[in-house]
Every structure is written in structure tokens, then in C-alpha cells.
Amino acid sequence: MAAVVKISKHTTASKPYPHVLYTVEVYVNGTYSVIERRYSEFLELHEKLQDPFALPPKRLFALLSHFLPLTSSKGWLDDALIEERKKGLTTYLSAILWSKAYADREEVKQFLQRGSDDKGVESEDALPSEVRRGLRARLLGSAAGGRDTMFGLSVRDSVFGTFRNLTLGGIKEDGPVTFDGPIAAAYYPEWSAKDMPPEVIDYSKFDVLFFGFATPNSAAALDWSSDAQSILKRIIRSIKLSKSKTKVVLSIGGWNGSQWFSDILSKASTMIAFIQKIIEILKAFNLDGVDIDWEFPNNQGSGNPSSPEDAANLLSFVQSLRSAVGPSKIISVVAGHAPWTGEDGKPLDDVSDFAEYVTFINVMNYGIWGASSTPAANSPLGMLPVETSNMQASAEAALVQWTEAGFPASKMLLGLPLYGYVFKSSKSALDSNAVLVSSPSSGSRFTSADSIHTNNATMDEHPFSFGAHREPSSSSLNAFVNAKADQGISLGAWHGKAIPFKALVKSGALVKRFDGGYGQPEGDAARAGYVLGWDDASSTPYLFNTEKRTLVTFDNARSMAAKANYARVNGMAGCFTWSLDQDDNYSLHDIVRAALGK
């Protein structure tokens, strides 16, 4: 039974003693309804169904015995308990309604239809702040030994309990997905297959492969070509033959494919249809998960439709998606340097709820500064050592911003670019101050990803204006094909474009050294070539030739190792690259793996 459940409100009743009623909004099989239910009614349903899903913990007794004096009233405990239960009860009921084993049970139908009254109000429905001395003593007595004798449930029962091998929508689930050590991942867009077929990939180098893209359409379904589906089948077949443990995740959206996210997730009916389509694909291809590459919620910088409710709808979506696919499937969401933009137009200051449902977020620490009139770093590492209330855009800034908003570093993958930008400029240095520090962000240390630099007077374009996860233009592909014939090491054909690392090497502007690093060519080529520079502020290299009015930003072994090491030392989940095919025969991928300790 496809459903969307939302419990964001509650009310209180006074008889027989003050207790909480949760407002449950349910959209199931095309019907929207609102019911009020007590926590004890969920417990009763759980007992009748004998389902394996976990309810939010029965913390009332623990709160009473450990925190509340006999005569005190702690309203903040009410708030904490209620919010915990709202999230837990939403997850519980969503799991029930998405489960074929329980959704059609008569007990569930009655739970969704019948009215509520004050009969059967139990101790667990009471507010801690309203519990008086006598009732407290009775409650603690019944909870002796850490168990409620009425329901037989441990006080330690948690909403994060395992789904215990239940089949949801035909997908058999075990526990949450785990990895041995930091994750080394990469994006592999379908257009990469022309230059790097699935059959030649060394899958042993990757824990996760994000294959893209399927794009949402107006019918809340997914558009992707038969060629893309064929490539995905080849990937899965090749991984099986290689006997590697690489997990394959389908990426949905992308720079060119995020037009319909806002509309689809704004309505329960289309959200359900969208989730059902995702489940069908996961089952059909036996995939390990799904990556939501929405660029970007509540932000029009990418030109896609948006709404102030986008972030809230995204949370409802990942919550429902997790209930539908179970805990063992990967759910990742692409993100910028700061949390998604809320209804007030500012980055959300609390994204801890998202962390309960997503496996990780993929932080795109690239596309920071496109090929504008002012050369600056594409993928900065650290923040400037200055006190400022202005936004900073870098790997370190992303870690600070997301963790300060309640998202754990252990669920963050740091994005590393295998490309750079070619500027038409006679400058010999990067404007790091411009890229790392921008306009004030209304009280926040940072601003949301797609609004970076928009108020900077020297900036021609905002971040990701050239496309973060975007298919290269035909002119860029032609430039790469013709690079070998470029005997003068002129990169003029790339002016204003993103350049793959392998194309930079192919042009002769960089050469691979005996130690695996990359440097400048020697001899006559060096005299006609480029000077290799290093920008301390962003910890990134660049090439320049003032006579040819060309400057190139990119990442090399040194800068990639620094960022990967930063991710590992700071407890991040690992790193991913955009995109696998742009490397020079795994050279930079090997550096990343080594820095991650793999």
C-alpha cells in the first residue's frame, strides 16, 4: 500500500488526565485523511500486528526517574519527548503502510478510520510535566526492571531498530549498509561509456559507483534512454565478473534533470508515484540504492522551478523513501557547501532529521568558480584564517556548516573534481579571497550553495552556473579530441570551458613524472608551455601563460591528497569524484585511495 505519512502537529486533552494527541496526516491509495492518535494507540496496534518495526522509545519512565524531581515541571522534556515521538511514529506508520505484509490487515484499516476518544488513555500518553507525586510513584512501580508490564516493551526500544528481514515491496532487507573504512566513490555518467566502457573499469578501486542519470518527468516517472539502461546492465554484469564488492547507485536528476523535483515532491500523490517508480527500478536492476541529485531545492540559481517548501518536502520524501526501501539500501542526496535553503530563504539551521533517513550527502566541493573574467580556485580546501561573518566556500566550510546544523561528518562524502577551468586571462595568480569569502549571509557564517558569490561585485557567474553534474558540450568534446594535434600546447580551444584532467595531460601542458606526480614539461616544450603555480589560500594548483592569455585551474596529486586526507582525519564518510572518466588512467583516484588509507 503506497502511502505518505506526516505527523508534525499535536494537541492535548485533559481527561482523564493531561495527555497528548498526535495529528496524523495520511495519504494512502489516493485518499487523504487526518486522524488523532495517542502514543498508546500505536503501542496497541504494534501488539496486535506483532510487526517487526520499532516504535519510538518509552522514555517517560526514564525521564521521571532520572531527571524530574517529585515536584518539578519540566516543559522542555515535554517538547523533547513529543518531537522524538512524532518522528518515530511517522517512521513506524510509514513502514506499516509500505509493507505488503501488514498494510492490508484489518487492524490497520481500523486504526486509520475510527475516531479517537478519551477511553484507554495510558500512562505513556501523559506529559512528564503534568505527572504528580502519586501518579509518578505508580508509574515507576509498574516500570520496575526497565520494562512496562502492561506492554512488555523495553524502555530502550528505539525507532532505529532493524527491520529484521521484512520484505518491503519485494525488496528483502537486512541491516543498514556498512563499509570497511572510508568510502572511495565515483560518478560515472552514461556519456562516459563512449570513452571508458564499463567492461574496462577497475571496479576494485571503488566502493560505490554513482551511475547517472535518470531524470524525473512531469508524470512523476523517470526518463532515461534505452542506451543508459543498457550501460547500467553492462556495469552490473562487469562488476559481477570482476568479483568486486562495488555497490551501484542510480543517480536521479543532475544539472539538466532537476526541473520536476519541486513539483513532484509538493504533492503526496505524485511523491508516492515517484517512490513507486524508484522501487521498480531498484528491483529490476537489483541496485544498491538511489542518489537524489536535485540542483537545488528552493533555489533558482540553476534555472529550475523552486518553492519555499522544497526543503521540507525533500525531508518528507527521504523519510517515505526510507520506509519504502528499508534500511539496507543507500539513499544519498547531493548537496552544496551549506544546508538546503529553508522557507525563510536562509540555509536550514537544523538538518539532523535528514541524517536519520539518508545514508550520506554528497557535498559538491567543485564548480565553485567557473571560467569567468576573474580566475579563482575550482575546489578550495580550507577557510581563510580570518574572523569574518561572511560566507566561505571550501571543503572545510562545508564540514563546519553542515555539522553545525546537526548533520554528522560520518555521513558526508566530500566531492573531488577531476576537471578544471580554462580562463582567458593574462593573470598569473588566483583571486582566492574572492572565491573563499563572499557577501554577508544574513547572520549565518555561510550561505546556501547556489547563492555563493551572487553579490560579489567582481563575479560574472555564480557557482555551478556552468553545471555541477552536467554533460559536457560538443565543443568541449571536440577540443579534447583535437588536443593531441595541439603541438604548441595552446589551450585556447578550451577558453571558457571545463577541462578534464586527462585532456590537460593530453595537451602536453602537464606531464606525468616518474614518481606518479604531474609537473611541467622539459626542453623546448617547457619554453612554449605553461608555468605551474600553487595557491596557498585554496591549496590548489594552476597553470598560466601570460603571452597566450590563458590560466587553468585544476587539481593534481598534491591537492587531491590534501582534501582526501582532510576528509579522513575529520571523520567524514569518505570521498567521491566527478567524474570517473576524466582521470588520467586512475592516477588521481589512486592518490585519493591512498590518502583515505585504503
pLDDT score of 385: 59
User: Identity (one letter) of the amino acid at 139?
Assistant: L
SS3 of residue 597 by DSSP: coil
* 265, 121: one domain: no
Q: Provide the whole-model pTM.
A: 0.81
Instruction: Examine the fold and report which residue of 104, 133, 161 is the final residue of a domain before the chain moves on.
Output: 161
Q: Flag residues of the chain having pLDDT under 50.
A: 60-75, 131-172, 438-467, 481, 483-488
Confidence (pLDDT) at 451 = 29
The model's pLDDT over 499-542, given as tens digits with 9 standing for 90+, comes to: 999 999 999 999 998 888 898 887 765 656 889 999 998 999 99
Decide if 394 is inside a domain.
Answer: yes
Round to whole Å and give the CA distance between 277 and 216.
10
Which one of 161, 191, 215 terminates a domain? 161
CATH of the domain at 353: 3.20.20.80
Same domain, 357 and 397: yes
In whole angstroms, give the CA distance from residue 368 to residue 376.
9
Q: What is the 3-state secondary structure (H, E, C) of 60-126?
A: HHHHHHHCCCCCCCCHHHHHHHHHHHHHHHHHHHHHHHHCCCCCCCHHHHHHHHCCCCCCCCCHHHE
Q: How many domains does the chain have?
A: 2
Q: Do 152 and 189 share a structural domain?
A: no
SS3 assignment for 219-272: CCCEECCHHHHHHHHHHHHHHHHHCCCCEEEEEEECCCCCCCHHHHHCCHHHHH
Residues making up the chain, counted from first to last: 598
pLDDT in tens, 95-144: 999 988 999 999 999 999 877 666 677 777 876 555 444 444 444 444 44
Task: Check whether residue 148 and residue 192 sit in a common domain.
Answer: no
pLDDT for 283 equals 95
Residues 242 and 373 reside in one and the same domain: yes
What is the 3 state secondary structure string of 527-542? HHCCEEEEECCCCEEE
Domain span at residue 230 reads 176-417+433-466+556-595
Neighbours of 325 (CB within 10 A): 23
Instruction: Tell me the pLDDT tens digit for each residue of 487-508.
Output: 446 798 899 999 999 999 999 9
Please name the residue ranges forming H helices in 266-309.
268-285
- Helix axes of 310-325 and 75-98: crossing angle, nearest 10 degrees: 50
Domain assignment present for 440:
yes
Query: Do 201 and 193 form a contact (C-beta atoms < 8 A)?
Result: no
Residue 423 inside a domain? The answer is: no
End-to-end CA distance of the chain: 43
User: Are both 143 and 182 inside the same structural domain?
Assistant: no
Has residue 190 been placed in a domain?
A: yes
Three-state DSSP at 331 gives strand
- CATH assignment at residue 71: 3.30.1520.10
If asked whether residues 355 and 397 sit together in one domain, one would say yes
Q: What is the pLDDT of residue 269?
A: 86
Residues 509 and 491 sit within 8 Å (Cβ to Cβ):
yes
My answer on whether 157 and 197 are in the same domain is no
CA-to-CA distance for 553 and 215, rounded, in angstroms?
30
- Cα–Cα distance measured from residue 477 to residue 370, given in angstroms and rounded to the nearest whole number: 18
> Is 186 found in the same domain as 157?
no
Tell me, what's the pLDDT at 29? 80
Among the candidates 126, 161, 196, a domain finishes at 161
Residue 494 lies in a domain: no
